[in-house]
Structures are given as structure tokens and as C-alpha cells.
Amino acid sequence: MRFPTATLLALVLAVALAGCGFHLRGAGSSAIPYKSLYIALPESAEVRIWLERYVRAVGTTQISDDAKHAEATFQQLSDTREKSILSVNAQGRVREYRLQMSYRFRLVNAKGQELVAPTEVVLTRDISYDDSNVLAKDLEEGLLWRDMNNDLVNQIMRRLSIIKPKNPDIDEEDE
């Protein structure tokens, strides 16, 4: 029995992809290496809501109600959101805006020792603007901000999942 060339090529490609460790990014790939996490943000903060949702989706880390009982505490250091003019037309009217979000955070343990050094995530989106479609452009801007929040939490989860937890009781020189 003889294999057609296309079947043989597909089989070789499938074996190569399986052997190289390639896998799609999913919720399971963002496991945080801490047993419990306290998020030091107000209950109604959008970042907290999204972060809790992602942490619970992974399923290995519990959200704690008290920082003293949590293995790690997520702290927001800064959250800056700016809307600036990117370009204007010949009449001096705005044609494009730039939306920029800058977010800094860190992780500490119950003693206040730093587990993850301050980390910054910067996101930028450009949006066109038209005076005749003000309502539509406001809605589009709102959707872009929401998309940026989602992207921010995705990046935070990825960064927390790849960072090796540091034991603050051991000096770096002792390792």
C-alpha cells in the first residue's frame, strides 16, 4: 500500500509540530505559582473583576479575602490612561486619537516582602475620529478601552505565570 505524497507530507508536519512542543495558548497555560492570592483593589475596579475571573478560570489559585492569609498580594502601583490627539486635518479638526494605558503592579507576601518586582504594562491603540459620527466614535472608544483592559489582564496573567516565585527569606547572594 502506497501513501500519497500529500498524506505523507501532512503526517510529517503533524509529527514535527507535536515533537517541538507547540501548543495553543489557553486558560490552562496561565497558572499562577501561588496557592492563594489577594487582590488589593476595590471590589468594583475593572482590573480586579477581570483578574479574579481569569484566576478562577485557571482553577489552581484561590482568591483570598484577607492579605494576611494569602501567599501573595497583588498591588496596583499606578494606572494611567490618556487620550491624546494623534493627527489633525487641514481645517485643524482632529482626525485621529491615541489611547494609551500604562499600568504598574507588584506582588508581595504577607510580611510585605516583594515577590515580584514592580512591572509595567503599556498598551496603545489608535482610533480615527469623524465629527459626523460622534456617537459611533464614542462607542468605539469605549470598546477599545474595554479591549485594552482585557489585554492588560491577559498580559498580567502571562507575566505572573512565567515569573519564578522568589523566596524573600533567602538572599540572592546565598543562591
**What is the count of structural domains for the chain?**
1
CA 44 from chain centre, in angstroms, equals 18
C-alpha cell belonging to residue 57: 478560570
CATH label of the domain that carries residue 107 = 3.30.160.150
Residues 6+ apart with CB under 8 A from 153: 47, 50, 51, 54
**pLDDT (tens digit, 9 = 90+) per residue, 94-114?**
999 999 999 999 998 888 888
Residues 6+ apart with CB under 8 A from 136: none
Whether 81 shows a pLDDT value over 80: the answer reads: yes
| Whole-angstrom distance, CA of residue 164 vs CA of residue 175 | 14
Q: Which residue has the cell 489585554?
A: 151
Q: Look at strands 114-128 and 62-63 and give their pairing.
A: unpaired
In a domain, 76, yes or no: yes
Residues 6+ apart with CB under 8 A from 28: 58
| Whole-angstrom distance, CA of residue 11 vs CA of residue 107 | 45
pTM over 0.95: no
**pLDDT (tens digit, 9 = 90+) per residue, 8-20?**
788 787 877 776 6
Higher pLDDT, 58 or 137: 137
Counting residues of the chain whose pLDDT is more than 70, the rounded percentage is 85
Element (H, E) at 53: helix 46-58
CA 52 from chain centre, in angstroms, equals 12
At 27 the pLDDT is 46
Residue 44 has what DSSP assignment? T
In a domain, 152, yes or no: yes
In a domain, 3, yes or no: no
Q: Which of 107, 101, 104 is nearest to 119 (CA)?
A: 104
In a domain, 19, yes or no: no
**pLDDT (tens digit, 9 = 90+) per residue, 36-78?**
889 999 999 999 999 999 988 887 888 988 888 888 899 999 9
- Mutual orientation of helices 46-58 and 134-162 as an angle, nearest 10°? 50
In a domain, 169, yes or no: no
In a domain, 5, yes or no: no
List the domain range (segments joined by +) for residue 72: 26-162
Whether 32 shows a pLDDT value over 90: the answer reads: no
At 112 the pLDDT is 83
Whether 22 shows a pLDDT value over 70: the answer reads: no
In a domain, 171, yes or no: no
